[in-house]
Structure 1
């Protein structure tokens, strides 16, 4: 089991240039990360750089506070998908959430998901801006839509991912949604802790070393789940083979 396939690699900068995207894509390819998370304006450029690799592209829209109109988010998402984005990372409307205009938040997320169809949608709730009750409410709203992931926050926000928040999200959504823990995750040990807490994807701007950590991985919850899943698959295969 290699945790590199849990990693969404991003740039830790407010202002991103082409040189940053080149370095990002090169590092992602060399380390076999699952995807690069980039501003939607760079999707076409990144697609050229990643041609022939297995690294996927996740386009950021509606960042940083999600206050763009729904139509604007839909337009940006559709264009990104046409240019090569495999996933969409959208910030929910935090202003509307703060004002308890929950219907507006739900419609915003739901309309974007309907517009992009089967494309994976990650709803970023930006936990640094929310109270515990607001985190729970945003999770409940996301459950009522067809989003695929709840993302804790933008990668460039410091101290934005917390184990407590991931546990709150997991307790709220149970198995209904996947979780992306993002921001200030810089090493292998921390990444494993988030995966064990319930995250299925890690957003980071650091090149997390994946070597020489076999003992830590073997003792982790995520590795035990991986082994259980692998064993179930093998048993199913054996049963199907016995009927042939």
Structure 2
């Protein structure tokens, strides 16, 4: 079934408790892989999804990726303690564009280090709309080499989503 491979997401700033209830009920009804929500909604969704088989996902550094690494690590730890099973990390795009590749890779490594304490999936969002073709190749290589579980193309909050044209 296709829904078992898809996440159901609501990352809107005005997302209410009722919105989370609706999202979780739909995810359970259709057998979605996960719900992806803002970190402040994790405890509510954790309770709503208990024993459903639907995973709990949240975002780190969303939507700009411009938080300090320490802030992202602390946010990730709190999210994992609140029950998140998947983390969508927004790469620090500004630092990456400044060619601070080691810093960008170290940030991913810092979150991956949490796997010593928690079981979770780490997905890295590279925000492809903001990268040149050469930067996109470099970002893809970096994420692939990092040990992260997945690479994602966009937050959906930038100038555009994924595109066949760069």
With normalisation by structure 2, the TM-score equals: 0.91
**RMSD (Å), alpha carbons:** 1.8
1:87-106 equivalence runs, <5 A? 87-106=86-105
Q: Tell me the number of residue pairs that the alignment of Structure 1 and Structure 2 aligns.
A: 164
Superposed CA deviations along residues 144-163 of structure 1, whole A, max 9, x for unmatched, are 21100001111455741235
Moved over 6 A (4+): none
Distance across 1 between alignment mates of 2:125 and 2:162: 12
1:157–1:36 distance in 2 versus 1, CA, 3 Å: farther
1:37–1:87 distance in 2 versus 1, CA, 3 Å: same
Kept in 2, the 8 Å contact 1:40–1:80? The answer is yes
What displacement does 1:79 show?
1.1
Work out whether 1:21 is the aligned partner of 2:17. Answer: no
2:137 aligned residue: 136
What displacement does 1:20 show?
1.7
Superposed CA deviations along residues 9-62 of structure 1, whole A, max 9, x for unmatched, are 101634322222111111111111100011111111100111121111011110
1:223-234 equivalence runs, <5 A? none
2:111 aligned residue: 112
Unaligned runs of at least 5 residues, structure 1:
166-244
- With 35-44 and 13-22 compared, the bigger mean Cα shift is at 13-22
Q: Secondary structure at the match of 2:3?
A: helix
> Larger C-alpha radius of gyration, 1 or 2?
1
Distance across 2 between alignment mates of 1:114 and 1:13: 29
Kept in 1, the 8 Å contact 2:87–2:120? The answer is yes
1:238 aligned residue: none
Distance across 1 between alignment mates of 2:121 and 2:164: 24
Unaligned runs of at least 5 residues, structure 2:
none
Work out whether 1:32 is the aligned partner of 2:31. Answer: yes
1:5–1:111 distance in 2 versus 1, CA, 3 Å: same
